[in-house]
Amino acid sequence: MEITAADDDGALPQPFNGEGFESLMTHPPFTRSLGVADSLILTGIARVEEDVFATLLDTETMKSHVVSKTANNLGWQLVGVGGNPAELHTWTAKIQIGGGQVVSVRYQKPPAKTARSSSSGGGGSGGNSPPLSSSQADEARRAAYNYREGFSSDGYPNAPPPQIVEKLSRISVSQREEINRQMLGLRNRGMSMDERRRIYESMVDRASQSRR
């Protein structure tokens, strides 16, 4: 029995047409990134008193991000860290990103050109910074009084912006001095300016909120 086109109800196999697969050939789903978490690596963990900060590197954009228990400007939040503090390759950080999704990011050595900017990883997660010199201790004290002028380790190339100055004005001199000492310690460990700025802003923000 011969079946004509009029008798075909779609049940018979049809000749292969590759037009519908062109997008799959150019953008195969198996090589497509599933999200920003796929390109993140953990480059460091820093403990500052009771606060824990993790530094991340997006290997696609080569941008560094700092996360803590307080959500950053992207809404990312640090919910936990793991691993042996003495063994960098065991470090992990659990990060809550958009939509409440929690992802685990493992430590990896950053690319050579960003090794300095992410060298906070080399300092260990115990926060054991080299001790401050007498001149650095004096700087921390002076900057606590002259907070509008900024200092060498707050992460700003010049004076801090007005919104940070306003928050600094709401906390005590002793709080400002302690923050300054911590930031000088992070600088001694080689943490980059951008990372110090993010941590400094987070610490100032928390201190100012606790005074309300």
The pLDDT tens digits of the residues spanning 142-199 come to: 999 999 999 999 999 999 999 999 999 999 999 999 999 888 888 887 778 888 888 8
Is residue 209 pLDDT above 60, yes or no?
Answer: yes
Strands of the 77-82 sheet, one edge to the other: 77-82, 92-96, 102-106
Percent of the chain with pLDDT over 70: 73
Residues 120-133, mean pLDDT to the nearest whole number: 53
More confidently predicted of 116 and 57: 57
Partners of 93 in the β-ladder: 81, 105
The DSSP H or E segment spanning 209 is helix 193-210
Among candidates 140, 153, 181, 186, which has minimal Cα distance to 46?
Answer: 186
Q: What is the pLDDT of residues 10-50, one digit of tens each?
A: 445 455 455 544 544 454 444 333 466 788 888 888 877 67
Which region holds residue 77: left if phi is over 0, alpha if psi is between -120 and 50, else beta? beta
Beta-bridge mates of residue 103: 95
Position 119 scores a pLDDT of 40
- Parallel, antiparallel, or unpaired for β 51-58 and 63-67? antiparallel
Q: Taking residues 80-99, what's their average pLDDT?
A: 86
Give 74's pLDDT tier (boundaries 50, 70, 90): confident
pLDDT exceeds 50 at position 117: no
Phi-psi region of 155 (alpha: psi -120 to 50; beta: other; left: phi over 0): left
Q: Which amino acid is at 55?
A: T
Task: Strands of 24-89 (E only): list them.
Answer: 40-48, 51-58, 63-67, 77-82
**Residue 38 has what DSSP assignment?**
G
Spans of all domains in the chain: 36-123, 134-210
Question: Phi then psi for 104, rounded to 5 degrees?
Answer: -105, 125
pLDDT above 70 for 115: no
